[in-house]
């Protein structure tokens, strides 16, 4: 039974807990064991088994006393390792913070813990969340479950199109595994494998939706300011948002309802009461007007992604939705604008890691200047150092107007593009999330980090630029047996509308769900 429970939804396992059919400690024990089985995928930097067991035992006590805290009580979750958890390593996947354990909890974790969620571990990421593959981590890359030997050994799934799938399990050459996407790839793989039911990532340019796309998951980037960023180590302050990974739309709603709302510790949160979202099982989309932006059909989009996009558009039309072509003319400038703003914030936010204030300290005693240089040289990888240097260049007095101020003006134009559509009664946008299925690692690293980010973030980043809510929905498997996904975007604070259409699509397409084989936890 435990194998089946680890493969199901929060709603279903919560019912089992409430009925007394299973104890939270039993689920926790199975989840921790499963982290060992899927360890070759490198989803976790730290498995917090001691914390998990303590929290699960507390949930057991509440279960016995009929005082459970809600649907998240006793539910295993994971958190990206750029969120602070008191007394536990928070590394940002960097040598710079390898020995850092914060003295406080991030607000999002505090809220999940208050509802009884069980922390299984801290997940892997690109160093300081700078990447789109989870391949640039001090702790090594994260591998995608899909297309891996771990999938074929421990999981099964059924798809109506199984006969079209060409298995790739026979490929055993070095570095031919598929990337998980990034920068929140560890969180995505943690959920996909069933080691937890939900995970938090962060999303600055697509870092939740991108790995959700490649791993076949629901991936939510909420409206900027809807969820507190307190305790999230920043990348780009004006675009960072906590992201949510789950296997179903309903589960994503549960997590959002648990963590959204104002926070006095974060002045960027919207200071009004959050109204929980509730979705109907019966959904009518005939009143929706859905835009298809032509700028997202760029060169490099795969035939299968384009076909997927077309097919879902037709399904929406058949259901009565008004599907119309639209234009977002400044989309092509968005990723360049983002690159400038990203590097400026990186240079500013990482200035405190100098060997004196925070982080790794080099063994250097000649001078403060030498200590500073050696510490930062040792503590940061090449990607981070490059972004710092470029950001400092953009922020020089003689370059500030040419780069930073011009990028801010372009950002306003990008935001205005979206506003025009919403004002013209477009309810939602449907686009690709990524341009292809998950690339192989050996192909992905042929291009440098910056170039890959320009490609991988093309469809996702504009939503961050405008602060909009956006969500990845898995649609089907490719002919190679890998997830293909699409993205929905909505106006500010219209998460309910976003989830409603996503749930309709989820019900129609019936993306295949992974199930643990019966013998998995016996090994």
Within 278-427, strands assigned E span 289-293, 322-326
| pLDDT one-digit tens code per residue, 286-327 | 999 999 999 999 999 999 999 999 999 999 999 999 999 999
Report pLDDT for 521. Answer: 82
Told to judge if 183 belongs to the known catalytic residues of this protein, a careful annotator would answer yes
Report pLDDT for 17. Answer: 98
Report pLDDT for 30. Answer: 97
**Per-residue pLDDT for 445 more than 80?**
yes
Q: Which CATH number describes the domain made up of 1-155+180-285+469-516?
A: 3.90.1300.10
Told to judge if 14 belongs to the known catalytic residues of this protein, a careful annotator would answer no
CB-CB contact of 101 with 220 (8 Å): no
**Per-residue pLDDT for 168 more than 90?**
no
| pLDDT one-digit tens code per residue, 113-139 | 999 999 999 999 999 999 999 999 999
| pLDDT one-digit tens code per residue, 145-157 | 999 999 999 999 8
| Most confident range, picked from 163-167, 174-178, 433-437 | 433-437
Place 204 in a pLDDT band, splitting at 50, 70 and 90: very high
**What whole-number percentage of the chain has pLDDT above 90?**
92
Told to judge if 80 belongs to the known catalytic residues of this protein, a careful annotator would answer yes
Place 202 in a pLDDT band, splitting at 50, 70 and 90: very high
Residue 432: partners with Cβ closer than 8 Å, 6 or more residues away: 296, 301, 305, 306, 308, 309, 459, 485, 486, 487
Core vs surface per residue 445-466: b (16+ CB within 10 A) or e: beeebeebbbbbbbbbbbbbbb
Place 112 in a pLDDT band, splitting at 50, 70 and 90: very high
Q: Determine the average pLDDT of the residues in 448-461.
A: 94
Core vs surface per residue 359-369: b (16+ CB within 10 A) or e: bbbbebeeeee
The catalytic position among 16, 80, 221, 476 is 80
Residue 205 burial (CB count, 10 A): 31
Within 345-460, strands assigned E span 428-432
The catalytic position among 7, 94, 132, 183 is 183
Residue 277 burial (CB count, 10 A): 17
Report pLDDT for 163. Answer: 39
170-179, 195-204, 236-245: which range is least confident on average? 170-179
Residue 521: partners with Cβ closer than 8 Å, 6 or more residues away: 2, 3, 30, 33, 34, 37
CB-CB contact of 55 with 102 (8 Å): no
The catalytic position among 49, 148, 207, 334 is 207
| pLDDT one-digit tens code per residue, 357-382 | 889 999 998 898 999 999 999 999 99
**Per-residue pLDDT for 522 more than 80?**
no
Q: Determine the average pLDDT of the residues in 486-506.
A: 98
Burial class (CB in 10 A: 0-12, 13-18, 19+), 314: exposed
Tell me what the pLDDT averaged over the chain comes to. Answer: 95
**Per-residue pLDDT for 162 more than 70?**
no
Place 166 in a pLDDT band, splitting at 50, 70 and 90: very low
Report pLDDT for 83. Answer: 98
Report pLDDT for 170. Answer: 41
| pLDDT one-digit tens code per residue, 374-419 | 999 999 999 999 999 999 999 999 999 999 999 999 999 999 999 9
| pLDDT one-digit tens code per residue, 13-35 | 999 999 999 999 999 999 999 99
């Amino acid at each position: 039974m435990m194998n089946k429970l680890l493969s199901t939804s929060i709603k279903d396992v919560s019912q089992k807990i409430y009925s007394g059919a299973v104890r939270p400690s039993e689920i926790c024990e199975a989840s921790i064991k499963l982290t060992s089985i899927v360890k070759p995928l490198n989803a976790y930097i730290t498995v917090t088994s001691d914390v998990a067991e303590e929290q699960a035992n507390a949930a057991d006590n509440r279960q016995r006393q009929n005082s459970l805290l809600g649907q998240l009580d006793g539910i295993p979750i994971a958190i990206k390792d750029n969120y602070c958890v008191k007394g536990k390593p928070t590394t940002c996947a960097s040598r710079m913070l390898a020995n850092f354990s914060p003295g406080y909890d991030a607000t999002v974790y505090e809220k999940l813990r208050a509802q009884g969620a069980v922390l299984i571990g801290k997940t892997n990421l690109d160093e300081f969340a700078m990447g789109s593959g989870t391949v640039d981590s001090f702790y090594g890359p994260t591998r995608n479950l899909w297309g891996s030997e771990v999938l074929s050994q421990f999981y099964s799934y059924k798809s109506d199109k199984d006969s079209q799938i060409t298995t790739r399990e026979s490929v055993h050459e070095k570095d031919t595994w598929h990337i998980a996407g990034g920068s929140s790839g560890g969180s995505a793989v943690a959920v996909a494998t069933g080691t937890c039911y939900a995970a938090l990532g962060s999303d600055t340019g697509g870092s939740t939706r991108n790995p959700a796309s490649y791993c076949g998951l629901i991936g939510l980037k909420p409206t900027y300011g809807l969820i507190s960023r307190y305790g999230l180590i920043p990348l780009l302050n004006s675009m960072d948002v906590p992201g949510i990974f789950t296997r179903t739309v309903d589960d994503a709603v549960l997590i959002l309802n648990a963590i959204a709302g104002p926070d006095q510790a974060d002045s960027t949160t919207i200071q009004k009461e959050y109204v929980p979202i509730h979705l109907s099982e019966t959904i009518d989309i005939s009143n929706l007007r859905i835009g298809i932006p032509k700028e997202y059909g760029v060169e490099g989009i795969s035939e299968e992604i384009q076909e997927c996009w077309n097919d879902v558009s037709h399904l929406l039309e058949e259901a009565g939705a008004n599907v119309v072509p639209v234009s977002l003319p400044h989309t092509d400038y968005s990723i360049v604008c983002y690159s400038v703003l990203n590097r400026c914030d990186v240079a500013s936010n990482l200035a405190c890691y100098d060997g004196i204030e925070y982080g790794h300290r080099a063994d250097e005693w000649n001078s403060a200047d030498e200590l500073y240089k050696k510490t930062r040289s040792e503590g940061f990888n090449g990607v981070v150092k490059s972004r710092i240097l470029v950001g400092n260049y953009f922020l020089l007095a003689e370059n500030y107007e040419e780069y930073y101020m011009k990028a801010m003006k372009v950002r306003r134009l990008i935001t205005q593009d979206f506003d025009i559509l919403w004002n013209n009664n477009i309810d939602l946008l449907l686009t690709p999330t990524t341009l292809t299925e998950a690339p192989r690692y050996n192909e992905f690293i042929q291009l440098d980090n910056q170039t890959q980010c320009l490609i991988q973030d093309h469809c996702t980043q504009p939503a961050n630029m405008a602060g909009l809510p956006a969500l990845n929905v898995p649609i089907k498997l490719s002919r190679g047996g890998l997830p293909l996904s699409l993205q929905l975007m909505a106006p500010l604070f219209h998460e309910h509308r976003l989830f409603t259409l996503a749930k309709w699509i989820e019900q129609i397409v019936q993306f295949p769900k992974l199930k643990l084989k019966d013998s998995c936890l016996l090994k």
